[in-house]
Amino acid sequence: MATLTPGEPMLFMGEGFRVHATSATTGGRFLIAEIISRPAGGPRHLHSHEAAEQYMCLDGVITVITEDGVHRLAPLESLTIRPWLAHTYRNLGDSPARLLCTLSPPDDMEAFLLAVCEPVSDPGAALPEVTREQSDHAMALAARHGMRIHGEYDPSVLGHGAVPRG
């Protein structure tokens, strides 16, 4: 069975991605990954899953969009997302942003990440743009790994507090 390797640089839907702890190293309790999000980066689709998830911004500003509202995270600010809350994150800034993502329980999400992450051949290369086809393919895989897809987020919500359910 394939596994995620802690420390190995990967790509996740056009984002830099590095796992720091896996279900194998945490006794099946959680997964921790670092994400480098390019400007305009982040998943286009709101999604939800069984795992609770915490985002902690390390550098830059990350905007987390949930069905409960819009949350802007500056460095060392965090947000915990309860299980099954529709959410996504975006880097709306002009420079890369870094965030730490913790998932618990990790099982379905780890299987999804194994299916969609790609090895990085040149860690110094610019992060690639993600095509709509790549995004749609990843969302189809997500559904096979226990996630619910709620459609693309509405950019008009970024100036408001609440995100309407779709």
Q: How many helices (H) and strands (E) does the chain have?
A: 2, 12
Q: How many CB atoms lie within 10 A of CB 116?
A: 18
The domain ranges of the chain are 19-120+130-150
| Per-residue pLDDT reduced to its tens digit, 17-59 | 999 999 999 999 999 999 999 998 988 889 999 999 999 999 9
Dmax over CA atoms of the chain, in Å, equals 45
Give 163's pLDDT tier (boundaries 50, 70, 90): very low
Give 77's pLDDT tier (boundaries 50, 70, 90): very high
The reported pTM is 0.85
Per-residue model confidence (pLDDT) at position 63 = 95
Q: Which of 29, 4, 30, 26 is nearest to 17 (CA)?
A: 4
Per-residue model confidence (pLDDT) at position 98 = 97
Strand-pairing partners, residue 111, are none
| Per-residue pLDDT reduced to its tens digit, 85-132 | 999 999 999 999 999 999 999 988 888 888 888 888 887 788 888 787
Residue matched to tokens 């997302």: 81
What CATH topology corresponds to 19-120+130-150? Answer: Jelly Rolls (2.60.120)
